[in-house]
Each structure stands twice: as structure tokens, then as C-alpha cells.
Amino acid sequence: MNLTIENIMLVGSLLLFVSIIVGKTSYKFGVPTLLLFLAIGMLAGSEGIGGIKFDDPKIAQFIGIVSLNFILFSGGLDTNWNTVKPILREGLALSTLGVLFTALSLGTFVWLITDFTIYESMLLGSIVSSTDAAAVFSILRSKSLALRTNLRPTLELESGSNDPMAYVLTLAFLTLVINQDKDLASIIPLFLQQMIFGAVAGFLFGKLSKLIINRIRLDFEGLYPVLVISLMFITFSATDFIGGNGFLAIYICSVYLGNQDLIHKKTILKMYDGLAWLMQIILFLTLGLLVFPTRVFPVFGVGLIISLFLILVARPLSVLLSLSFFKMKFRRRLYISWVGLRGAVPIVFATYPLLAGIDKADMMFNIVFFISVTSVLIQGTTLSIVAKWLNVALPQEEKKLNPTDMLFLDSPKTVMKDIRIGPDCFALNKKIVELGFPKHAIIAMIRRNDAYITPNGSTVIEDGDTLMVFADRQEVIDEVYKTLKIDHVTEPV
């Protein structure tokens, strides 16, 4: 079947519908959802029962880059800075040194067992050197896996922030493969430029985006997520235009925004959560369509050897080396090693050699595809088992609820307080988003002139308003009074 303007909507919507329905029941059988999306794409492809002819790496790469923007940005918005801060150094070590050690060790192994040149081998190692954000985020969160001692934020920080490093290494070694006259020293300026420009641009665009979101007045709440989408693409494209790493920029920008008070933040987060899932499905379906199974089977032997070396040797070695500067129990290091999931990102990066037209590009793509599939299949299906085996999983009764969720539980610990705003109050004539309200408290409703209104971040506090505040404990109510700069005598609850 050839895709045309007339049938692309029908075929696309049917594939999306089938993916959602199949994904809903996939975990009953212990199969990661993303792997099923990939399989559905392959079945619908030119060598599958669907017979859809799709062999355009350029379109696949474009879809991949757009999808990664949404996936990384959504992951950054969900990243709690207070949770990440204690393990920031460990996460950055894994996302930089860990990626470098993985690329070098795997590249060396590929060079020893294949007829690839040293630069081609390092290119292959670089392509699969990062853990996949889409795979890690979706599997950890869908399994609701509770881990001990900051393991989960470490894994999510690593997977969200290590794609830029792998991207730079891929571009660098691709340049060396194309230009045989260049040496390793020639790629250092490219590396520094990409990382420094990307980091600075990400922070600056984060500050600018917060200012725009909170200052601009849009008539419809639904326009705010659209505004954020435009800011996301501006951040990526502008950073790439000046020679920085766009993936690093949007991740830093989104982490910054996710930890700030924004107007209609809940609406933005909910929409991005749905868009991230949509982009994951589209990405895996597209890559499934791009793959020809008959071309993957010939690399089964060498692909399996390389994949097992990556899972059992290269990844553990890179984790142990990059975390050697930090105090951490050995079993926790082992678990971090096991959650080295490869997914769609390496397959997207593998389209760069295809578009560059280098020798062995097809073989590289098929090996990378095989590595990604085996990684998700072997590691993705055993995360819970290995966590229990290494004793890094929390018992069921120790799992903690999100503080925001606790506000609405029918629990005696839930506290409600009516706070009246007077003419001298600090909050008078200010938007709620400008108050710096405690994160464990919410203004559920405002009573104004015998009427009740449901507030949002852009709601302006007026004289005589009564704020109905919910919190999970009395101490948070005390913080609310301090934030509003109102003197009070603590009353019994």
C-alpha cells in the first residue's frame, strides 16, 4: 500500500488506535508497550501484512527529532528539582562520562569483532551510548516502580539528560568517518560549542519562557499549552541555529519551567503528558515502518553479540567508572547498570549515517535496531524482578503518595483553612502565580462578594477575598501565612 493524502489519515488513525488498545493489555504479559508499538509498525510495513511502503530516512529523522522534543520536554517538566538536587552530580556523571565510556568500550569491541574501521566502530558505539528517555520514563512510570534512596530520580535524570552527549558524539564520529583526513583533536571544538551553547541557551530560554507565559494575557486557557509548544520549538531551533545542542537546551529549559510557578501549569502538564505518549507511539510506529525485517535477520548473530556485550559489559563498566567518585552501594550501581534501556533514540540517531550515505550505513542501522529491540525486551521486562533481587525496591506499604494527591484524600491529616485578605496584605492585587505559594498547598476556591470562583495562576487577589486553602499538614498552613505575610495565631484543626 502506498501512502497518499487520501489514505494517510485513515491508516495513521487505525495504527494509533490499534497501538493504544494493544498497549493497554501489554503489561499483563510483561511486554513493554513501546516494543509493541514498534512491532505494530513492522507488521504494517512493506514486509508485513499491512504492506505500507515507507523507506524514507529523512522523513523518519524529522519525525524522530520532533517527537524527541516533546518527550524530553515532558520529562523535564515532570522533573522535581528538590528531588534531583541531591543526586545531580551522580546524574550528570552518568549522562556525560557514562555515555563517553559506553561509546568507547563498545566501539572498541565492535572494531575487534567486525570489519568496521575504528571510526565506524566508534560511530556505532556513540549511536547506542545513551539510555532512552522514552523507554525509561514510560516503563518506570507505568510500572509505578518505587526504588530506594533516590534511585528513580537518578535514572530519570540520566535518561533525560544523556541524549545530548550521545548526539554530539554521533555527529563528531560521523564527521571523522566522512572526512578521513581529520583527527580526534578536530572534534573537541565542536563538542565544547554544542554543550556550552546548549546549556546557556537552555537556561536563558527557560527564564524568557517563564516571563512570557506569566506576563502574556491570553483569552483562552487552552492557548497556554500551545504557547509553550511554540516556545519549545523556538528554544530547540534557535539553539541549533547558533551551533548549540538543541536537545540539551530544551531539557534544561523544561526542567527550569517545571519547577517554577506558571499560569495554568496543570493544564500545560496534562497536555504535555498526553502529547509525549502520542509522540512515543508515532515515533515507534514510524521506525517500525522504516525497518525491513529481512535486512535485520542477516545481522542477528553479530547484533546479538554486540547487544549482550553492551548490556553485560559496556554499560556496567561505564556506570562503575563514572560513579567511582561517589559513595553508593554496589547493588545500587548494578541496578543502574541494568536500567540501561535503549529504545527509539539510537534508531533515530542511526538515520544520520544513512542520510550521509557512508559505507555500512545500512548494516549500522540494522544492528542498532536489533540492539534497541533486545535491550527493551531483555531489560525492560525484568526491571521489577531485578529490583527485588538486588533489594532496591521499596515494599508496597512504604511507597509514598505524591503530596499533591494527599490534599484530596479522605484523611484526617488533610487541613483546610479560610484566610481573609485585608487591605494591607502582601498578596493584594497580585496574581496567584506571583505569590510563591508552598507546593504542598493549594487555593481550592476564593469567596468574593458572596460568590465563589475557581482560581488559576492568573487570578488576581482582591481586597476582601477569602482564600480556601488545602494542605496536607498544619505546618504547611503556617508556611502559607508566612508567604502571604499575615500574622496569625495557630488555631486547632
pLDDT digits (tens, 9 = 90+) for 38-48: 888 888 877 77
Q: Are residues 414 and 293 in the same domain?
A: no
Q: Are residues 363 and 416 in the same domain?
A: no
Residue 491 lies in a domain: no
pLDDT at 287 over 80: yes
- pLDDT at residue 255, as a whole number: 92
User: Are residues 166 and 129 in contact, defined by beta-carbon separation less than 8 angstroms?
Assistant: yes
Q: Are residues 409 and 390 in the same domain?
A: no
- For residue 197, what are the contacts with CB-CB under 8 A and spacing of at least 6? 239, 242, 243, 244, 245
pLDDT at 32 over 90: no
Q: Are residues 50 and 81 in the same domain?
A: yes
Range among 13-17, 133-137, 138-142, 364-368 rated most confident: 364-368
pLDDT at 157 over 60: yes
pLDDT category at 29 given cuts 50, 70, 90 is very low
pLDDT at 403 over 60: no
User: Are residues 51 and 59 in contact, defined by beta-carbon separation less than 8 angstroms?
Assistant: no
Residue with cell 481550592: 444
CA distances from 358 to 141, 346, 365, 419, 487 (A): 38, 17, 12, 68, 71
- pLDDT at residue 294, as a whole number: 83
Q: Distance between CA atoms of 53 and 290, rounded to whole angstroms? A: 9
pLDDT category at 305 given cuts 50, 70, 90 is very high
pLDDT category at 395 given cuts 50, 70, 90 is low
The string of pLDDT tens digits covering residues 163-182 is 889 999 999 999 999 987 77
Pick from 73-77, 311-315, 473-477: least confident: 473-477
- pLDDT at residue 108, as a whole number: 96
pLDDT category at 62 given cuts 50, 70, 90 is very high
Q: Are residues 326 and 449 in the same domain?
A: no
- 51-72 b/e with 16+ CB inside 10 Å = b? ebebeebeebbebbbebbbbbb
State mean pLDDT over 208-220.
Answer: 88
Q: What is the maximum alpha-carbon separation in the chain?
A: 80
pLDDT at 238 over 90: yes
3-state secondary structure of 419: strand
Domain end, chosen from 374, 398, 422, is at 398
Where is pLDDT greater, at 269 or 134?
269
Residue 223 lies in a domain: yes
Residue 77 lies in a domain: yes
**C-alpha cell at position 193:** 560549542
Within a 10 A sphere around the Cβ of 7, how many other Cβ atoms?
13
pLDDT at 74 over 80: yes
pLDDT category at 75 given cuts 50, 70, 90 is confident
- pLDDT at residue 315, as a whole number: 94
Residue 394 lies in a domain: yes
Q: Are residues 433 and 363 in the same domain?
A: no
Q: Distance between CA atoms of 269 and 484, rounded to whole angstroms? A: 26
- pLDDT at residue 407, as a whole number: 42
pLDDT at 347 over 80: yes
- pLDDT at residue 410, as a whole number: 40
Range among 6-15, 252-261, 373-382 rated most confident: 252-261
- pLDDT at residue 15, as a whole number: 78
The length of the chain, given as a count of residues: 493
pLDDT category at 414 given cuts 50, 70, 90 is low
The string of pLDDT tens digits covering residues 94-150 is 999 999 999 999 999 999 999 999 999 999 999 999 887 666 766 666 555 667 767
Residue 490 lies in a domain: no
Q: Distance between CA atoms of 157 and 152, rounded to whole angstroms? A: 8
CA distances from 417 to 421, 423, 451 (A): 13, 19, 18
What single-letter amino acid sits at 225?
P
CA distances from 382 to 145, 277, 338 (A): 12, 22, 9
- pLDDT at residue 30, as a whole number: 47
pLDDT at 492 over 80: no
Range of the domain at 359: 5-398
Residue 328 lies in a domain: yes
pLDDT category at 405 given cuts 50, 70, 90 is very low
Pick from 57-66, 152-161, 256-265: least confident: 152-161
User: Are residues 57 and 259 in contact, defined by beta-carbon separation less than 8 angstroms?
Assistant: no
- pLDDT at residue 493, as a whole number: 40
Residue 455 lies in a domain: yes
pLDDT category at 471 given cuts 50, 70, 90 is confident
Q: Are residues 226 and 103 in the same domain?
A: yes
Q: Is the dihedral of CA 103, 149, 400, 259 positive or negative?
A: negative
Q: Are residues 359 and 279 in the same domain?
A: yes
Residue 489 lies in a domain: no
Pick from 268-277, 335-344, 360-369, 391-400: least confident: 391-400
Percent of the chain's residues with pLDDT above 90: 27
Element (H, E) at 378: helix 361-378
Q: Are residues 236 and 310 in the same domain?
A: yes
Task: Assign residue 206 the CATH number of its domain.
Answer: 1.20.1530.20
Q: Distance between CA atoms of 436 and 442, rounded to whole angstroms? A: 11
Domain end, chosen from 358, 380, 398, is at 398
- pLDDT at residue 1, as a whole number: 58
Task: Assign residue 458 the CATH number of its domain.
Answer: 3.30.70.1450
**C-alpha cell at position 92:** 550528570
Where is pLDDT greater, at 252 or 484?
252
pLDDT at 413 over 50: no
Q: Distance between CA atoms of 221 and 17, rounded to whole angstroms? A: 28
For the entire predicted model, the pTM comes to 0.79
Q: Are residues 196 and 236 in the same domain?
A: yes
- pLDDT at residue 311, as a whole number: 93
Q: Distance between CA atoms of 202 and 342, rounded to whole angstroms? A: 25
- Mean pLDDT, the chain, rounded, equals 82
Q: Are residues 312 and 366 in the same domain?
A: yes
Q: Are residues 424 and 362 in the same domain?
A: no
The number of distinct structural domains making up the chain is: 2
User: Are residues 402 and 450 in contact, defined by beta-carbon separation less than 8 angstroms?
Assistant: no
- pLDDT at residue 239, as a whole number: 95
Beta bridge partners of 471: 415, 441
Domain end, chosen from 398, 430, 464, is at 398
The string of pLDDT tens digits covering residues 85-94 is 888 899 899 9
Within a 10 A sphere around the Cβ of 157, how many other Cβ atoms?
25
pLDDT at 412 over 50: no
pLDDT at 330 over 50: yes
3-state secondary structure of 412: coil
